[in-house]
Protein backbone atom coordinates (compact mmCIF):
# COMPACT_ATOMS: atom_id res chain seq x y z
CA UNK A 1 0.00 0.00 0.00
CA UNK A 2 1.10 3.56 -0.71
CA UNK A 3 -0.08 6.20 1.76
CA UNK A 4 -0.02 9.98 1.70
CA UNK A 5 -0.63 11.97 4.86
CA UNK A 6 -0.50 15.45 6.32
CA UNK A 7 1.70 14.97 9.36
CA UNK A 8 0.64 18.19 11.11
CA UNK A 9 -1.76 16.63 13.61
CA UNK A 10 0.14 13.37 14.07
CA UNK A 11 2.90 12.42 16.53
CA UNK A 12 4.69 10.59 13.74
CA UNK A 13 4.06 7.22 12.13
CA UNK A 14 4.73 4.82 15.01
CA UNK A 15 1.99 3.87 17.46
CA UNK A 16 2.41 5.61 20.86
CA UNK A 17 0.23 5.30 23.95
CA UNK A 18 -2.12 8.24 24.35
CA UNK A 19 -0.97 10.03 21.19
CA UNK A 20 -2.48 10.28 17.72
CA UNK A 21 -0.25 8.53 15.19
CA UNK A 22 -0.64 7.54 11.55
CA UNK A 23 -0.07 3.85 12.31
CA UNK A 24 -2.80 3.70 14.94
CA UNK A 25 -5.38 5.54 12.81
CA UNK A 26 -4.54 3.40 9.79
CA UNK A 27 -4.61 0.08 11.64
CA UNK A 28 -7.98 0.88 13.23
CA UNK A 29 -9.48 1.24 9.75
CA UNK A 30 -7.65 -1.83 8.42
CA UNK A 31 -8.98 -4.01 11.21
CA UNK A 32 -12.56 -2.89 10.62
CA UNK A 33 -12.26 -3.80 6.93
CA UNK A 34 -10.39 -7.13 7.08
CA UNK A 35 -12.01 -8.19 10.40
CA UNK A 36 -8.90 -9.43 12.19
CA UNK A 37 -6.01 -7.88 14.21
CA UNK A 38 -3.43 -6.18 12.00
CA UNK A 39 0.18 -5.12 12.43
CA UNK A 40 1.32 -2.82 9.65
CA UNK A 41 4.96 -2.29 8.68
CA UNK A 42 6.04 1.00 7.11
CA UNK A 43 9.12 1.84 5.07
CA UNK A 44 10.24 4.17 7.87
CA UNK A 45 9.01 5.92 11.00
CA UNK A 46 8.42 9.52 9.96
CA UNK A 47 8.66 11.89 12.93
CA UNK A 48 5.96 14.15 14.40
CA UNK A 49 4.87 16.81 11.90
CA UNK A 50 6.61 15.17 8.92
CA UNK A 51 4.47 14.53 5.83
CA UNK A 52 4.42 11.74 3.25
CA UNK A 53 3.37 11.45 -0.38
CA UNK A 54 4.68 7.92 -0.89
CA UNK A 55 4.89 6.04 2.41
CA UNK A 56 4.93 2.29 1.69
CA UNK A 57 3.13 -0.02 4.13
CA UNK A 58 2.53 -3.76 4.13
CA UNK A 59 0.45 -6.14 6.25
CA UNK A 60 -0.57 -9.80 6.11
CA UNK A 61 -4.18 -10.87 5.80
CA UNK A 62 -6.37 -13.80 4.81
CA UNK A 63 -9.19 -11.41 3.89
CA UNK A 64 -10.72 -12.50 0.55
CA UNK A 65 -11.43 -8.94 -0.62
CA UNK A 66 -9.47 -8.13 -3.80
CA UNK A 67 -6.83 -5.39 -3.71
CA UNK A 68 -8.80 -3.11 -6.04
CA UNK A 69 -11.80 -3.25 -3.72
CA UNK A 70 -9.63 -2.84 -0.61
CA UNK A 71 -8.44 0.47 -2.02
CA UNK A 72 -11.97 1.87 -1.79
CA UNK A 73 -13.02 0.01 1.34
CA UNK A 74 -10.04 1.25 3.33
CA UNK A 75 -9.52 4.63 1.66
CA UNK A 76 -13.12 5.77 2.12
CA UNK A 77 -12.93 5.16 5.88
CA UNK A 78 -9.65 6.98 6.59
CA UNK A 79 -9.58 10.41 8.26
CA UNK A 80 -9.22 13.41 5.96
CA UNK A 81 -5.47 13.81 6.65
CA UNK A 82 -4.62 10.30 5.38
CA UNK A 83 -5.04 9.17 1.77
CA UNK A 84 -4.62 5.61 0.48
CA UNK A 85 -3.15 5.93 -3.02
CA UNK A 86 -2.43 2.36 -4.11
CA UNK A 87 -3.02 -1.24 -2.99
CA UNK A 88 -1.56 -4.39 -4.52
CA UNK A 89 -0.64 -7.94 -3.57
CA UNK A 90 3.03 -8.64 -2.83
CA UNK A 91 4.98 -11.83 -2.02
CA UNK A 92 4.56 -13.07 1.56
CA UNK A 93 8.22 -12.32 2.35
CA UNK A 94 7.90 -8.63 1.35
CA UNK A 95 8.94 -6.28 4.18
CA UNK A 96 8.35 -2.55 3.65
CA UNK A 97 11.24 -1.58 5.93
CA UNK A 98 13.83 -4.22 5.24
CA UNK A 99 13.51 -4.40 1.48
CA UNK A 100 13.60 -0.64 0.79
CA UNK A 101 16.66 0.27 -1.31
CA UNK A 102 16.17 3.98 -2.08
CA UNK A 103 14.13 6.85 -0.60
CA UNK A 104 13.65 10.48 -1.52
CA UNK A 105 12.85 13.19 0.98
CA UNK A 106 12.09 16.78 -0.03
CA UNK A 107 12.46 19.79 2.26
CA UNK A 108 10.67 23.02 1.30
CA UNK A 109 11.75 26.51 2.40
CA UNK A 110 9.92 29.75 1.63
CA UNK A 111 12.59 32.45 1.61
CA UNK A 112 10.76 35.78 1.54
CA UNK A 113 10.14 38.60 4.03
CA UNK A 114 6.39 38.31 3.43
CA UNK A 115 4.61 35.50 5.23
CA UNK A 116 3.30 32.91 2.74
CA UNK A 117 -0.35 31.94 2.41
CA UNK A 118 -1.57 30.46 5.73
CA UNK A 119 -2.32 27.02 4.25
CA UNK A 120 1.27 26.78 2.97
CA UNK A 121 2.73 27.20 6.47
CA UNK A 122 1.75 23.59 7.26
CA UNK A 123 4.14 22.33 4.57
CA UNK A 124 7.07 24.76 4.41
CA UNK A 125 9.67 26.34 6.65
CA UNK A 126 9.43 30.11 6.35
CA UNK A 127 12.78 31.95 6.61
CA UNK A 128 12.03 35.69 6.34
CA UNK A 129 15.00 37.55 7.82
CA UNK A 130 17.77 36.85 5.30
CA UNK A 131 18.18 35.70 1.71
CA UNK A 132 19.74 32.28 1.35
CA UNK A 133 22.52 31.76 -1.18
CA UNK A 134 21.27 28.72 -3.09
CA UNK A 135 24.49 28.32 -5.08
CA UNK A 136 26.59 28.02 -1.91
CA UNK A 137 24.05 25.62 -0.40
CA UNK A 138 24.23 23.46 -3.53
CA UNK A 139 28.01 23.34 -3.33
CA UNK A 140 27.87 22.37 0.34
CA UNK A 141 25.23 19.70 -0.34
CA UNK A 142 27.69 17.72 -2.45
CA UNK A 143 29.70 16.96 0.70
CA UNK A 144 26.81 14.78 1.89
CA UNK A 145 26.87 12.61 -1.24
CA UNK A 146 28.49 9.22 -0.78
CA UNK A 147 28.89 6.81 2.13
CA UNK A 148 29.70 8.63 5.37
CA UNK A 149 29.45 8.38 9.12
CA UNK A 150 26.56 10.78 9.81
CA UNK A 151 27.01 10.93 13.59
CA UNK A 152 27.26 14.74 13.41
CA UNK A 153 23.75 14.80 11.89
CA UNK A 154 22.05 12.87 14.71
CA UNK A 155 20.80 14.22 18.06
CA UNK A 156 23.08 14.18 21.09
CA UNK A 157 21.83 11.54 23.50
CA UNK A 158 19.65 9.89 20.84
CA UNK A 159 19.06 6.14 20.65
CA UNK A 160 22.33 4.23 20.14
CA UNK A 161 22.96 2.67 16.72
CA UNK A 162 25.15 -0.22 15.69
CA UNK A 163 26.26 1.94 12.78
CA UNK A 164 25.98 5.62 11.86
CA UNK A 165 27.16 4.97 8.31
CA UNK A 166 24.60 5.79 5.61
CA UNK A 167 24.75 6.31 1.85
CA UNK A 168 23.36 9.44 0.21
CA UNK A 169 22.99 9.08 -3.56
CA UNK A 170 22.17 12.72 -4.25
CA UNK A 171 21.52 15.97 -2.41
CA UNK A 172 20.24 18.78 -4.64
CA UNK A 173 19.32 22.38 -3.81
CA UNK A 174 17.23 24.42 -6.21
CA UNK A 175 15.13 27.58 -6.19
CA UNK A 176 11.68 27.95 -7.72
CA UNK A 177 10.68 31.61 -7.37
CA UNK A 178 10.43 32.21 -3.59
CA UNK A 179 10.74 28.54 -2.69
CA UNK A 180 13.95 26.59 -2.06
CA UNK A 181 13.78 22.82 -2.52
CA UNK A 182 16.27 20.41 -0.95
CA UNK A 183 15.95 16.85 -2.32
CA UNK A 184 17.87 14.12 -0.52
CA UNK A 185 17.97 10.59 -1.92
CA UNK A 186 19.58 7.76 0.02
CA UNK A 187 19.40 4.14 1.02
CA UNK A 188 18.10 5.08 4.46
CA UNK A 189 18.48 7.77 7.11
CA UNK A 190 19.18 8.17 10.81
CA UNK A 191 16.85 9.88 13.27
CA UNK A 192 16.61 13.60 12.32
CA UNK A 193 19.42 13.18 9.78
CA UNK A 194 17.69 14.98 6.90
CA UNK A 195 16.46 17.86 9.06
CA UNK A 196 19.95 18.33 10.52
CA UNK A 197 21.42 18.29 7.02
CA UNK A 198 18.95 21.03 6.03
CA UNK A 199 19.79 23.08 9.13
CA UNK A 200 23.49 22.82 8.29
CA UNK A 201 22.93 23.87 4.67
CA UNK A 202 20.88 26.82 5.89
CA UNK A 203 23.86 28.06 7.91
CA UNK A 204 25.95 27.92 4.74
CA UNK A 205 23.23 29.77 2.82
CA UNK A 206 23.20 32.52 5.44
CA UNK A 207 26.93 33.02 4.95
CA UNK A 208 27.90 31.78 8.42
CA UNK A 209 30.09 28.99 7.03
CA UNK A 210 31.91 28.33 3.74
CA UNK A 211 30.57 25.36 1.72
CA UNK A 212 33.69 23.27 2.35
CA UNK A 213 33.07 23.35 6.12
CA UNK A 214 30.27 20.80 5.75
CA UNK A 215 32.78 18.06 4.96
CA UNK A 216 34.78 19.04 8.05
CA UNK A 217 31.61 18.79 10.15
CA UNK A 218 30.91 15.29 8.80
CA UNK A 219 34.45 14.14 9.48
CA UNK A 220 34.33 15.53 13.04
CA UNK A 221 31.39 13.24 14.00
CA UNK A 222 30.45 16.03 16.43
CA UNK A 223 26.79 17.11 16.50
CA UNK A 224 27.63 20.41 18.21
CA UNK A 225 29.53 21.58 15.13
CA UNK A 226 26.55 21.14 12.77
CA UNK A 227 23.59 23.44 12.18
CA UNK A 228 20.25 23.45 14.00
CA UNK A 229 17.52 20.88 13.38
CA UNK A 230 15.14 22.27 10.75
CA UNK A 231 11.46 22.17 11.80
CA UNK A 232 9.43 19.14 10.71
CA UNK A 233 6.69 20.74 8.62
CA UNK A 234 8.98 21.37 5.65
CA UNK A 235 9.88 17.68 5.26
CA UNK A 236 8.03 15.14 3.10
CA UNK A 237 8.75 11.52 2.16
CA UNK A 238 8.15 11.55 -1.60
CA UNK A 239 8.82 7.94 -2.63
CA UNK A 240 10.41 4.61 -1.72
CA UNK A 241 11.87 2.09 -4.19
CA UNK A 242 12.20 -1.71 -3.92
CA UNK A 243 13.76 -4.56 -5.92
CA UNK A 244 11.47 -6.50 -8.28
CA UNK A 245 9.27 -9.05 -6.48
CA UNK A 246 11.31 -11.99 -7.76
CA UNK A 247 14.56 -10.45 -6.47
CA UNK A 248 13.55 -9.73 -2.86
CA UNK A 249 16.31 -10.90 -0.48
CA UNK A 250 15.50 -13.26 2.39
CA UNK A 251 15.67 -11.26 5.63
CA UNK A 252 14.73 -14.01 8.08
CA UNK A 253 18.20 -15.50 8.50
CA UNK A 254 19.80 -12.07 8.78
CA UNK A 255 17.54 -10.67 11.49
CA UNK A 256 15.90 -13.65 13.22
CA UNK A 257 14.97 -13.99 16.07
CA UNK A 258 14.72 -10.20 16.47
CA UNK A 259 11.42 -8.85 15.11
CA UNK A 260 12.40 -7.25 11.85
CA UNK A 261 10.16 -4.21 12.32
CA UNK A 262 12.05 -3.33 15.53
CA UNK A 263 15.60 -3.91 14.36
CA UNK A 264 18.31 -1.28 13.96
CA UNK A 265 19.27 -1.36 10.29
CA UNK A 266 20.39 1.15 7.67
CA UNK A 267 16.96 1.46 6.07
CA UNK A 268 15.01 2.31 9.22
CA UNK A 269 14.66 6.06 9.15
CA UNK A 270 13.15 8.61 11.51
CA UNK A 271 13.82 11.98 9.87
Distant-in-sequence contacts of 79-83, Cβ < 8 A, 24+ apart: 79/25, 81/5, 81/6, 81/8, 81/9, 81/10, 82/3, 82/4, 82/5, 82/6, 82/22, 82/25, 82/26, 83/3, 83/4, 83/5
For residue 131, give every residue at least 6 positions away whose Cβ sits within 8 Å of its Cβ, in sequence order, or none.
111
- Are residues 155 and 133 both part of a single domain? yes
For residue 157, the model assigns a pLDDT of: 78
Domain containing 206 equals: 102-237
Assign residue 133 the CATH number of its domain: 3.30.70.660
For residue 261, the model assigns a pLDDT of: 40
In a domain, 268, yes or no: no
* Residue 20 to residue 86: CA distance in whole angstroms: 23
- Are residues 83 and 6 both part of a single domain? yes
For residue 265, the model assigns a pLDDT of: 43
For residue 80, the model assigns a pLDDT of: 97
Catalytic residue among 6, 47, 245, 246: 47
In a domain, 271, yes or no: no
- Are residues 55 and 115 both part of a single domain? no
Which residue numbers in the chain have pLDDT < 70? Answer: 252-271
- Are residues 108 and 95 both part of a single domain? no
For residue 252, the model assigns a pLDDT of: 64
Q: Tell me if 201 sits within 8 A of 182, measured CB to CB.
A: yes
- How many Cβ atoms from other residues are within 10 Å of residue 92's Cβ? 7
Assign residue 78 the CATH number of its domain: 3.30.70.580
Q: In the annotation, is 47 catalytic? A: yes
For residue 271, the model assigns a pLDDT of: 63
In a domain, 270, yes or no: no
Three-state secondary-structure class, residue 51: strand
For residue 267, the model assigns a pLDDT of: 43
Average per-residue pLDDT for the chain: 91
For residue 251, the model assigns a pLDDT of: 78
In a domain, 80, yes or no: yes
Q: How many domains does the chain have?
A: 2
The alpha carbons of the chain give a radius of gyration, in whole angstroms, of: 19
pTM above 0.85, yes or no: yes
For residue 198, the model assigns a pLDDT of: 98
- Are residues 131 and 148 both part of a single domain? yes
Amino acid sequence: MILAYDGTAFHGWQRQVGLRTVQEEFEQVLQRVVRHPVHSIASGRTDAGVHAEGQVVNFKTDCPIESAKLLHAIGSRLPSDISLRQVRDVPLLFHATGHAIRKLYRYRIINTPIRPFPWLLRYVHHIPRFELDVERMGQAAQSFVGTHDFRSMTPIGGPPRRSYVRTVFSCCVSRQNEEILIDVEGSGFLYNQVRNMVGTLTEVGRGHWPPEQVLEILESKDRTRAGPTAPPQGLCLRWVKYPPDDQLPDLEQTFSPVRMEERDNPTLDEP
